A and B are shown apart, each in its own frame.
Chain A
Amino acid sequence: MSLNLEDVARIARLARIELSAAERETTRDQLNDILGFIEQLQAVDTTGIEPMAHAVDVVQRLRPDVVTETNRRADFQAVAPETEAGLYLVPRVVE
């Protein structure tokens, strides 16, 4: 499997990354190199081996259901670009 320039443009758009024409070519080559590594990995016979979802074979630690956070809105909003009436303001989005 290999990616063409169109695939790269689409992936960049989904990730909200702007790429110039030159960057698109470099990125395509780099991504195709990575896909090459993955092909090597996929060539290994893993029949009968349970897939792992994480590199470390340990399980999730759980937290008791207790409210531990306090209201720190003022701190957080002090570094926000724009706020009003306790809300974060962003460019208008309409769906």
Chain B
Amino acid sequence: MSRTTQWEVVIGLETHAQLQTKSKIFSGSSIAFGAAPNVQASAVDIALPGVLPVLNREAVVCAIKFGLAVGATIAPRSVFARKNYFYPDLPKGYQISQFEIPVVLGGGLAITVGAGDTATEKFVHLTRAHLEEDAGKSLHEDFHGRTGIDLNRAGTPLLEIVTEPDMRSSAEAVAYAKALHALVQWIGICDGNMQEGSFRCDANVSVRPMGQKEFGTRREIKNLNSFRFMQQAIDFEVHWQINEIEEGRAIQQATVLFDPDTGETRSMRSKEDAHDYRYFPDPDLLPLEIRPEWIAEVKSGMPELPQAMQARFQADYGLSAYDAASLVASRPMADFFVAAVAEAGAANAKTIANWIMGELAARLNKTDLPVEASPITAVQLAGLIRRIADNTISNNIAKKVFEAMWNGEGGSNNNAADQIIEKQGLKQITDTAAIEALVDEVLAANQKSIEEYRAGKEKAFNALVGQAMKATKGKANPQQVTDLLKKKLGA
């Protein structure tokens, strides 16, 4: 391979999403995060002899929801299998997973890569998604040369979601991971908490000369628990693989780990000692049957999906594709918008969208708050928008009221905006006589501007409007002031 070869990157992702159930997938132990070691590890979870797994119905419901959300086939009959390997955090000596017949087959996710004018759309196909149990945790430090085992996590329900090797850059991989992350939270099957390991990705990465049909040899980067690390790890890995090939060395299939401190990937195990899992159907579990009626029941309880909602916002409220997409980027954001529109009416939807993506988003960003923790509720924001719409306050004054609401003035009342407007006397002056008096005062005090205006300087007129607005402390309707001034100056 010469240095001038153009390389194509090929990436497939496997994601483990922890399902939001109360109990484990095969036992009645709690899966609450943060408990003391081994207090949520029952006889089934620690694999005492004679115990039997019993499948959690809700874990299956989560899998059905996911299958519906990605347009996949939900297997009418799927089978649990034993994946055999020895590791102390897996006390049975096998993980219960699905192999030949997974619960979800096919489907896919539309993603947007990049933003603005350079944004591109892409569809990432899914191979499958299957139910399985998580392993426990090994702690290697502080136990005088021994390893400590905490089995609280053993048996936690996971949905492993596997893509086709459809992605062609780290940016596409991250865009897919983000879209999937938003979707599993949207449909309420995973809390998406990456720090706590509720959503973790493995990336299969290979490179090939542009135009070559066969895939190159892949290496799998394990346990990427942030989008930033995913980008860094893939970029490093791609660079490393291209360099190896260009130096004349073949890529060996391997599992690698990403070290965030050095920004490098390093080999964990090579193909020679790759696991031979010897999958076989688990005789402890019967086939899982999912009837069409059950799928229909789950479907009827599902929320409107982001893409459908985006299309509706564009059609019903005249929002741009970009605005609508921003509002459905997360479920809490969409819920906020929907709640505000329900309160202030569809006619104000566009104004609401602008305020959410402008003032509110800027504030949330600055204070690092998620929208669900916004000090201003959707109903309160709607209350503010309504006062702009009925001309009680101007847009500029509204920003002042917003600021006050953000700082907690007006309290948690639904009519916080009205209280602030009232208390601070911010109501727009609509009394024509009062405004006329003010305008007269301004004109009397600014003879020079009047002359300049009459001499043809437009700027002088703007200065007069400014003076008049200042005199009213911004409470006059700017259009009304302009009209009055024009009338008085005989323009």
Chain A residues engaging chain B, CB cutoff 8 angstroms: 14, 16, 53-54, 56, 58-69, 71-73, 76-77, 82, 84-95
Q: Are A59 and B287 in contact (CB under 8 A)?
A: yes
Shortest distance in angstroms between B288's beta carbon and chain A's nearest beta carbon? 5
B106 within 8 A of A: no
- How far is it, in angstroms, between the C-alpha of A28 and the C-alpha of B55 when the chains are bound? 37
Q: Are B38 and A88 in contact (CB under 8 A)?
A: yes
Q: Are A69 and B27 in contact (CB under 8 A)?
A: yes
Q: Are B38 and A86 in contact (CB under 8 A)?
A: yes
Q: CB within 8 Å of A: which of B241-272?
A: 268-269
Is the contact region of chain A dominated by helix, strand, or loop, or is it mixed? loop
Q: Are A86 and B36 in contact (CB under 8 A)?
A: yes
Shortest distance in angstroms between B341's beta carbon and chain A's nearest beta carbon? 34
Determine the chain A residues whose CB is within 8 A of the CB of B87 once the complex forms: 93
What interface size band does chain B fall in? 35 or more
Shortest distance in angstroms between A92's beta carbon and chain B's nearest beta carbon? 5
Shortest distance in angstroms between A33's beta carbon and chain B's nearest beta carbon? 19
Determine the chain B residues whose CB is within 8 A of the CB of A65 once the complex forms: 21-23, 56-59
B33 within 8 A of A: no
- How far is it, in angstroms, between the C-alpha of A67 and the C-alpha of B152 when the chains are bound? 13
B298 within 8 A of A: no
**A-facing mask of B140-159, CB < 8 A → 1, else 0?**
10010111111100000000
Q: Are A92 and B41 in contact (CB under 8 A)?
A: no
Q: Are B38 and A76 in contact (CB under 8 A)?
A: yes
For the complex with contacts A69-B42, A87-B150, 19 further pairs of A-B residues with Cβ separation under 8 Å are A56-B286, A59-B77, A59-B286, A62-B54, A62-B57, A65-B23, A65-B57, A66-B23, A69-B40, A71-B39, A76-B41, A76-B46, A84-B146, A85-B37, A86-B38, A88-B38, A88-B151, A90-B88, A91-B146
Q: Are B38 and A73 in contact (CB under 8 A)?
A: yes
Determine the chain A residues whose CB is within 8 A of the CB of B22 once the complex forms: 65-67
**A-facing mask of B18-43, CB < 8 A → 1, else 0?**
00011100011110000011111111
Q: Are A14 and B23 in contact (CB under 8 A)?
A: no
- How far is it, in angstroms, between the C-alpha of A84 and the C-alpha of B142 when the chains are bound? 10
Q: Are A54 and B283 in contact (CB under 8 A)?
A: yes
